[in-house]
Chain A
């Protein structure tokens, strides 16, 4: 049996045998620094501020009902009530600019932006990253059930002082301390994080907020920030500039917004704004660490020639020598522009994390991506005969599913019904587990 020296020796042998990837030129590293800095420069009222961290707080208080809609679709609703009731203030019109470049398009029923009592303008405190977010620090009553919307620099990019929670919580995302860390028991609290571009993180959280509401608020935000502008988009709900995940703060001792069943999740209609539209059964020893989170909505072209053309151009960037990379990049962008109007199909990607249901167990966590949509409309992607690495096919309910076990990617794909295809994949390998979970899915 190899001892420690033998283990170390084998790892050394392995690493010595590796081909070291070409080291980028210093100029390329500098360009990355510039690009990252550009993302962080956020325009406010014509004055550019280099911000390490920006937090925008929307404090929303109870207000009269505006009809039967459980929430308030701001853009389509008269938001100027003629009188106040129950002593609450009239709601200001929405979409309301919380700050230059950030607007909220939807709020749950009964909420409105709180005005500063002295200036009668919305509270717009701007925090730096080092400032603590505490309820008392914001001058809030803990029973006011505030909803907080923060736009911050993503904290997992690399803080030399070290992240406060370098843990695996939330699929590798590091969470800064929020009001949840200082308050008492907060049943129903939930928190949603959206990542915009590489570095900007948008957080919506509230202590009496459902996850669905938090997601809907987040998706209603209009962000006029460079990361989105660069992507040609201005809405956080647009997948080109945002990816979303949800998280319930149960790991801090608070009840989850949803009961995450270890056996099944409720089946619901396919709803792009709703929860996962199917049910999953967990393999032995595993439980869901979070509710499945819709991570993004992706649009693919349905023209196989264009798909191939784009993929080859994308691969050419990867394969290019450093000096040829700008030309390959330009070629790729040119192809994307030229083919922008080609027919497309839109699919939703959901992320699911399975983890051991026993803290003492050494079962590795498994991250899955489940893609739902009419993906069979894209024949190039789902042509088993066209991919020699499809290890086998299985037949499920009369339908054929492809199964692949690649070194870094296991996946299954099948057509559940016309218009709904399913693609289940994991970067973690684990083909047997992926298959077990995939076969347990029902819609």
Chain B
């Protein structure tokens, strides 16, 4: 496939968007970076096929996120047993599990949010999208985005700082303590 006018600018977008796209999906998929990468690659291939239209979007990365989200969920629905088998092999190969990096905790907290709140949080705080852009990408009313974001913030505050009245606890400690 050669660079055609219809694909002009795709490579540049692809290189620039990949880190944020995979990071946001990793958060969405509860730290599963492998799934995030597969879903992101699938979404990027859809973007390439339709770049003539997608490239004109105000926020192609936000659009790719939603496409990847569905692709990832399709993958997740496939055999749980297959995945368990792979995880088992991976664990055997790695030996004793290393302590998870601190970001995994954040991924789990965000992963526990209801799906709409999770999407809104990731689009807002990772992809830095405005509420209006989020509304466009998710097909929601702006008011719904604001409400979901507000609910998500409330939950995140409680989860990130579960003991706000303990003077010995500060933000950094609660974030990374595990």
Contacts and interface: CB of A to CB of B under 8 A. Distances in A.
Interface string B87-121: 11111010001001111101110111111100001
A298 to B, nearest CB: 6
Given A157-B67, A162-B139, A427-B76, A311 B88 contact: yes
A26 B78 CA distance: 26
Interface stretch (A27-35, A229-237, A270-278): A27-35
Nearest to B152: A7
A36 B41 CA distance: 13
Interface stretch (A58-66, A87-95, A220-228, A403-411): A403-411
**Helix, strand, loop or mixed for chain B's interface?**
helix
Nearest to A3: B157
A158 B161 contact: no
Contact of A21 (B36, B82, B89, B164): B36
A7 B150 CA distance: 12
Interface string A128-156: 00000000000000000000000000001
A315 B164 contact: no
Contacts of A425: 80-81, 84
B50 interface: yes
Interface string A321-362: 000000000000000000000000001010100000000001
A116 interface: no
Contacts of A311: 85-86, 88-89
A254 interface: no
B30 A408 contact: yes
A30 B84 CA distance: 30
Given A12-B125, A369-B80, A33 B32 contact: no
Interface of A: 1-4, 6-8, 10-15, 17-24, 26, 28-30, 32-34, 36-37, 156-158, 160-163, 165-166, 168, 171-172, 174, 195, 198, 243, 295-296, 298, 300, 307-308, 311-312, 314-315, 318, 347, 349, 351, 362, 364-365, 369, 371, 381, 387-389, 406-409, 411, 423, 425, 427, 429
27 contacts: A2-B160, A7-B153, A8-B125, A11-B126, A12-B125, A17-B102, A19-B33, A23-B14, A24-B44, A28-B41, A29-B48, A32-B41, A33-B49, A165-B139, A166-B66, A172-B74, A174-B70, A243-B78, A298-B81, A315-B86, A315-B90, A347-B81, A349-B80, A371-B81, A408-B30, A409-B87, A427-B80
